[in-house]
């Protein structure tokens, strides 16, 4: 099945190819779940719908970009053997990142007690709703959380199955060959990435509970929870699969860190100033949710330097429901103290550094151009 899927030649084509690869994975995994019980199959469909209902596929795009860059490095061994990973392997590895992300989002939504994501009910709310609809016994909200914990776990287990080319079920299909084992170097990147995102998420909730509002804490979380997980490790994953030489991998890590931080800083700005029509999130969502973003940390630090009362006003607008006037007030403080300008300046600086590293990195020009376009888009997006 998988070998019949077209593999993308450009980054533009990655999201739809990734979605096709995920569809093919679910088409084989869900019947295995349904063999346990139709109810388990139905849960697998909830996961499929969640994964396929949207998202920018940022991580797979970067992973595939790393693959193309590694493949087109001039320093690369010119004659890969028959055992070398193929573009199909690269697509599969890239797509499996969306299953890690499904686990992260499903569990994050429990942790953040979010009711909606991308305009749909969050997974724990979906299961809570069917508990209520079926008039089941017990605490519907707790049932929703319990089911969503298990579905997130399944997503993480299936991510590992997909990246390794395994799938639940006992037999290979007729004519199907065993998957090529993932090279150990790729396994190490995969491993580091999962530990980093989970460690970054853990650090995030600890900083929030511990009231650490320092700029340093916000950047530390961002480095692991976003920059490594969203850009740097995906780029490295693809490049390592392509057996890219060490200097290119080092350049891609550096580019990945800079773009990843820029990606998150843009997210921070959109989380407070974004247009709800475009982002799909309520106005001032990050303030209401009490997220300890870099924007907020910089804002609090700058407000505190100018006038402690101003910092107190900003602090009072975090982590509780806000009126439109209160959102506007908090935005005004962030703008007036120069936090917005500082974050915009950082984004431009990071983008410039990433583009400078990219300009001299060892890859073919078509890949370089595509990555530059994507880098601009990541840093300047409005959704």
Count of C-beta atoms within a 10 Å radius of residue 310: 18
User: Minimal CA–CA distance to 148: which of 176, 175, 129?
Assistant: 129
Binder to its own copies among 1, 27, 75, 206 (CB under 8 A)?
A: 206
Binder to its own copies among 20, 24, 205, 301 (CB under 8 A)?
A: 205
Place of tokens 């193309």: 68
Binder to its own copies among 136, 308, 312, 382 (CB under 8 A)?
A: 136
Binder to its own copies among 7, 73, 122, 201 (CB under 8 A)?
A: 201
Residue pair 332/367 in contact by the 8 Å Cβ criterion: no
Binder to its own copies among 49, 54, 80, 202 (CB under 8 A)?
A: 202
For residue 157, state whether it binds its own copies (rule: CB under 8 A): yes
For residue 36, state whether it binds its own copies (rule: CB under 8 A): yes
Residue pair 340/360 in contact by the 8 Å Cβ criterion: no
For 43, the token pair is 């849960």
Total residues contacting its own copies by CB under 8 A comes to 69
For residue 215, state whether it binds its own copies (rule: CB under 8 A): no
Helix (H, G, I), strand (E, B) or coil at 120: strand
Binder to its own copies among 60, 70, 200, 271 (CB under 8 A)?
A: 200
For residue 196, state whether it binds its own copies (rule: CB under 8 A): yes
Binder to its own copies among 208, 251, 258, 268 (CB under 8 A)?
A: 208
Provide the H-helix boundaries in 53-183: 58-71, 87-111, 123-133, 140-164
Paired sense of beta strands 120-121 and 116-117, if any:
antiparallel
Which one, 13 or 40, has the nearer CB to its own copies? Answer: 40
Binder to its own copies among 22, 51, 87, 151 (CB under 8 A)?
A: 151
β-pair partners for 121: 116
Helix (H, G, I), strand (E, B) or coil at 139: coil
Q: Show contacts with its own copies in window 162-191 (CB under 8 A).
A: 164-170, 178-179, 181-182, 184-185, 187-188, 190-191
DSSP 258-304: HHHHHHHHHHHHHHHH--HHHHSS-TTHHHHHT---HHHHHHHHHHH
For residue 59, state whether it binds its own copies (rule: CB under 8 A): no
Q: Show contacts with its own copies in window 3-32 (CB under 8 A).
A: 29, 32
Contacts of 245 (CB under 8 A, 6+ apart): 73, 75, 76, 362
Residues that bind its own copies (CB under 8 A): 29, 32-33, 36-37, 39-40, 43, 103, 107, 110-111, 113, 131, 134, 136-138, 142-143, 145-147, 149-154, 156-158, 160-161, 164-170, 178-179, 181-182, 184-185, 187-188, 190-192, 194-196, 198-203, 205-206, 208-211, 220, 224
């Amino acid at each position: 099945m998988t070998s019949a899927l077209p593999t993308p030649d450009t980054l533009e084509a990655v999201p739809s190819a990734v979605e096709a690869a995920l569809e093919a994975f679910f088409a084989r995994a869900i019947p295995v779940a349904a063999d346990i019980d139709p109810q388990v199959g139905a849960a697998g469909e909830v996961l499929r719908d969640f994964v396929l209902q949207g998202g920018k596929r940022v991580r797979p795009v970067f992973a595939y970009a790393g693959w193309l860059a590694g493949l087109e490095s001039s320093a690369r061994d010119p004659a890969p053997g028959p055992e070398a990973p193929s573009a199909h392997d690269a697509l599969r590895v890239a797509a499996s990142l969306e299953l890690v992300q499904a686990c992260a989002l499903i569990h994050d939504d429990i942790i953040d007690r979010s009711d909606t994501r991308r305009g749909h009910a969050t997974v724990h709310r979906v299961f809570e709703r069917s508990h209520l609809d079926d008039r089941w016994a017990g605490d519907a909200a707790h049932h929703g959380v319990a089911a969503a914990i298990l579905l997130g776990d399944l997503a993480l287990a299936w991510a590992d199955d997909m990246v390794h080319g395994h799938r639940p079920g006992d037999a290979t299909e007729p004519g199907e060959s065993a998957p090529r084992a993932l090279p150990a170097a790729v396994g190490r990147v995969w491993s580091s990435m999962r530990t980093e995102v989970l460690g970054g998420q853990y650090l995030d909730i600890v900083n929030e509970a511990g009231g650490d509002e320092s700029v340093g804490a916000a950047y530390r979380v961002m480095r692991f929870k976003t920059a490594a997980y969203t850009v740097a490790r995906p780029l490295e994953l693809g490049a390592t699969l392509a057996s890219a030489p060490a200097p290119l991998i080092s350049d891609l890590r550096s580019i990945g860190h800079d773009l990843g931080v820029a990606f998150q800083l843009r997210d921070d700005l959109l989380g407070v100033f974004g247009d709800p029509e475009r982002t799909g999130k309520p106005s001032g969502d990050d303030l209401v949710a009490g997220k300890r973003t870099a924007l907020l940390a910089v804002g609090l630090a700058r407000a505190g330097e100018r006038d402690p009362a101003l910092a107190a006003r900003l602090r009072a607008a975090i982590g509780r429901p806000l009126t439109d006037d209160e959102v506007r007030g908090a935005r005004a403080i962030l703008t007036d103290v120069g936090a917005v300008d500082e974050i915009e300046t950082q984004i431009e600086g990071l983008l410039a550094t990433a583009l400078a590293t990219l300009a001299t990195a060892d890859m073919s020009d078509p890949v370089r151009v595509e990555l530059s376009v994507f880098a601009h888009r990541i840093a300047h997006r409005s959704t």
